Amino acid sequence: MSAIRGKDTRPEMVVRGIVHGLGYRYRLHRRDLPGAPDLVFPKLHKIINVHGCFWHMHTCRYGSVTPKANRNFWKAKRTGNASRDRTTLRRLRADGWDVLTVWECETKNNPGLEDRLRKFLDSPLPAIEGARRVHVKD
């Protein structure tokens, strides 16, 4: 498992290339935010997370694969990842961040991905009642 990368994965690089091509600039893996999000847009107060389907238990065919060997270990690991994702998402939204999750399967020959990213980044930030705005330095 040491060969499994958490940063600069192929799906993440695809999303970064599209976003950069759209003219947006971002920060990578901000450790001062919950979960160290993949792409952070401080001025827009938006975040894009790129999740691997298998590791984060997406409902697609790649995420619903169940390993035959060491089944209990993998179930615990993957459900832990999904649980941590939900907790992190709640914390980010409570802090006033708008979050988009892009799944690995969506980065494979998906002509609508660019439009989805553009709409997310161009949309105004939703007003969240009770959310606090925390200004962060670039």
pLDDT tens per residue across span 86-125: 999 999 999 999 999 999 999 997 789 999 999 999 988 7
pTM of the model: 0.84
End-to-end CA, the chain:
33
Instruction: Please state the length of the chain.
Output: 138
- Per-residue pLDDT at 62: 86
Q: Measured at the alpha carbon of residue 116, what is the angle toward residues 112 and 122, in degrees to the nearest 5?
A: 145
Q: Which CATH number is 10-112 given?
A: 3.40.960.10
Please give the single-letter amino acid code of residue 72.
Answer: N
- What is the pLDDT, as a whole number, of residue 61? 87
Q: The sheet that has 39-41: what strands, in order across it?
A: 27-28, 39-41, 46-51, 98-103
pLDDT of residue 1: 53
pLDDT on residue 85 = 95
- Classify 93 as helix, strand or coil: helix
Give me the residue spans of the domains in the chain. 10-112
Residues in the chain with pLDDT values less than 70: 1-6, 126-138
Closest CA to 98 of 77, 127, 78: 127
Spatial distance between the Cα atoms of 83 and 89, rounded to a whole number of angstroms? 10
Q: In this structure, what are the phi and psi dihedrals at residue 115, rounded to the nearest 5 degrees?
A: -65, -40
Give the whole-angstrom CA distance, residue 136 versus residue 9.
Answer: 26
Residue 64 has what pLDDT?
86
- pLDDT for the residue 109: 79
How much is the pLDDT for 110?
79
The pair of structure tokens assigned to 113 is: 């991905």
